[in-house]
């Protein structure tokens, strides 16, 4: 069979299997096993265990459970609530200050936890009721938190960027730096829209609360330790040429976050600590299992000559590189609507990266564009994980209202992609400045 037609058949089969409700990792293994069997009988099937565990034989993978532990220890405390309250005290006087403070809290908590659902839950539990009480429409109250939560997969340290780096064999440190300026750009666009929407709808009708300087400074000692850890992690990676690998930094950062949680928030209870370790193990195993299964899936695509044929066919197309990138973005958007970011990256990035690099695009710039597309998927149906998290926090707000409130922020993300396409230096400038030009 023609490899292109075979690739279409593999793609359709994968979609059908994943839509059956089976887990992503098991679904990839099932599809891989079926096509390998029909291609070469049991010969390649015997290689599956070696491929599965061989994909996990990578020291860089240690960064994933460590950063997840770092985020879980923060998410298990009142750090999100304190961060929200601290920003609200400092930003309450500006127009739409409450929404802006919520978005700022989402950005900072995302940097600390690296988890979009955790960010929505931690900030939304405090922010949504307060915004509704202050007269903000349900669309702005829910949509801003749902969108702010997506920042967790872009702003470093990001588990999603680690997965991309491992899948494409690119520098994780450079990927972290590549996400800084685009993350700030997205936060700025989100805040600008929120201020405009607040002024347009005459929201925030109640008089803002007044806080003394003493009240503003009194909350800072509860959130500064975690922020200092994030700064320390980034300094250890990049300061003075970098003193540690991402895996080593993640381990130290995780330990410090657990210690700070125990000291500042009195997280001494054994059951609370057990829950942190349990949640970390559960999420880490899920991601690592998908990574391992993706190794088998990639081998199957390569064995059937599907990957090479697709890359060659697209490379032979006489189209403008930006037209090609437009098709890639559409594909990523559609995939992000149905699959979690980690699954899309592991399945698509190894195939797409040689194509986009052949068209002259930077691999780190593409990583950011891919991630923003995945962010859109987090607040778009039918999966839209953040939408359901917000609906769980505020069940009296209909899912349709949450989606309506998040759509303007989808527009902000699309605008960010356009801006980064016109000015790619916004992505590549900081990594080149700190680590030198990429080879």
Phi, psi of 154 (to 5 degrees): -115, -50
Query: Alpha-carbon distance 391 to 287, whole Å?
Result: 25
The closest of 280, 13, 298, 12 to 166, measured between CA atoms, is 298
Domain layout of the chain by residue ranges = 48-435
116-133 and 97-113 helices, crossing angle to 10°: 160
Kindly list the distances between the CA atom of residue 411 and the CA atoms of 31, 98, 376, in Å, as whole numbers in the listed order.
Answer: 35, 21, 9
pLDDT recorded at residue 188: 92
pLDDT given at position 334:
82
Q: Is 261:267 a contact under the CB 8 Å cutoff?
A: yes
pLDDT in tens, the chain (439 residues): 777 788 778 878 887 887 777 888 888 889 889 888 888 777 778 888 888 888 888 777 888 888 888 878 877 777 777 777 777 777 766 666 778 888 888 888 877 777 777 788 878 887 888 788 777 888 888 999 999 888 888 888 788 888 898 888 888 889 988 999 999 999 999 989 988 888 777 655 555 667 777 877 887 787 788 778 878 877 777 765 567 777 888 888 888 888 888 887 777 778 888 888 888 898 888 888 888 888 888 888 878 887 667 767 766 667 788 888 888 888 888 888 877 888 888 888 888 888 888 888 999 999 999 999 998 988 887 767 888 888 888 888 888 899 899 999 999 999 999 999 999 999 999 998 888 787 6
pTM flag (> 0.75): yes
Residue 42 class from Cβ within 10 Å (0-12 exposed, 13-18 middle, 19+ buried)? exposed
Of residues 403, 373, 376, the one with CA closest to residue 388: 403
Helices (DSSP H) in 219-340: which residue ranges?
Answer: 220-238, 246-264, 270-303, 306-316, 321-338
Classify residue 62 by its DSSP letter: G
Angle CA 349–355–356, to nearest 5? 80
Q: How far is CA 418 from the centre of its chain?
A: 19
134 φ, ψ to 5°? Answer: -85, 5
Check if the beta carbon of residue 359 is closer than 8 Å to that of residue 307.
no
Residue by residue, DSSP assigns 374-399 as HHHHHTSTTT-HHHHHHHHHSTTS-H
Distance CA(87)–CA(103), nearest Å, equals: 10
What's the confidence (pLDDT) of residue 418? 94
* C-alpha angle 26-28-33 in degrees, rounded to nearest 5: 95
Contacts of 104 by beta carbon, 8 Å cutoff, 6+ apart: 87, 91, 187, 191
Extract the tokens encoding 338. Answer: 């149905």
Q: Are the CB atoms for 329 and 336 separated by under 8 Å?
A: no
Cβ 35 vs Cβ 10: under 8 Å: yes
Residue 136: both structure tokens together: 């903000």
Nearest to 401 by CA among 117, 139, 75: 139
């Amino acid at each position: 069979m023609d490899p292109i037609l075979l690739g279409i058949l593999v793609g359709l089969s994968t979609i059908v299997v994943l839509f059956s409700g089976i887990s992503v990792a098991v679904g990839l293994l099932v599809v891989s096993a079926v096509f390998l069997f029909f291609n070469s009988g049991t010969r390649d099937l015997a290689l599956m265990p070696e491929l599965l565990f061989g994909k996990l034989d990578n020291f860089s993978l240690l960064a994933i459970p460590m950063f997840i532990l770092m985020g879980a220890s923060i998410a298990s405390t009142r750090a999100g609530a304190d961060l929200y309250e601290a920003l609200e005290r400092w930003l309450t006087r500006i127009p739409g200050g409450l929404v802006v403070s919520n978005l700022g809290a989402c950005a900072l908590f995302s940097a600390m936890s690296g988890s979009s659902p955790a960010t929505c839950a931690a900030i939304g539990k405090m922010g949504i009721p307060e915004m509704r009480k202050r007269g903000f429409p349900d669309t702005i109250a829910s949509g801003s938190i749902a969108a702010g939560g997506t920042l967790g997969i872009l702003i470093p340290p990001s588990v999603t960027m680690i997965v991309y780096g491992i899948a494409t064999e690119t520098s994780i440190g450079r990927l972290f730096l590549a996400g800084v300026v685009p993350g700030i750009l997205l936060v700025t666009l989100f805040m600008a829209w929120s201020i405009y929407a607040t002024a347009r709808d005459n929201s925030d009708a109640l008089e803002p609360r007044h806080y003394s300087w003493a009240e503003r400074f009194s909350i800072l000692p509860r959130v500064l330790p975690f922020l200092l850890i994030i700064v320390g992690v980034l300094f250890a990676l990049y300061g003075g040429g970098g003193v540690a690998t991402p895996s080593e930094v993640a381990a130290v950062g995780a330990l410090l976050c657990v210690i700070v949680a125990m000291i500042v928030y009195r997280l001494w209870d054994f059951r609370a600590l057990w829950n942190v370790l349990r949640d970390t193990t559960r999420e880490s195993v899920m991601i690592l299992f998908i990574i391992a299964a993706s190794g088998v899936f990639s081998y199957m695509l390569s064995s059937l000559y599907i990957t090479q044929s697709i890359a060659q066919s697209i490379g032979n197309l006489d189209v403008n590189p930006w037209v090609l990138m437009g098709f890639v973005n559409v594909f990523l958007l559609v995939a992000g609507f149905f699959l979690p970011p980690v699954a899309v990256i592991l399945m698509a990035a190894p195939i797409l990266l040689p194509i986009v690099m052949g068209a002259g695009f930077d691999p780190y710039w593409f990583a950011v564009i891919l991630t923003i597309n995945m962010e859109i998927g987090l607040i778009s149906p039918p999966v839209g994980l953040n939408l359901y998290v917000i609906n769980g926090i505020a069940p009296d707000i209909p899912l349709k209202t949450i989606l309506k409130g998040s759509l303007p922020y989808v527009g902000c993300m699309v605008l960010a992609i356009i801006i980064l396409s016109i000015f790619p230096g916004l992505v590549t400038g900081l990594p080149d400045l700190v680590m030198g030009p990429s080879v």
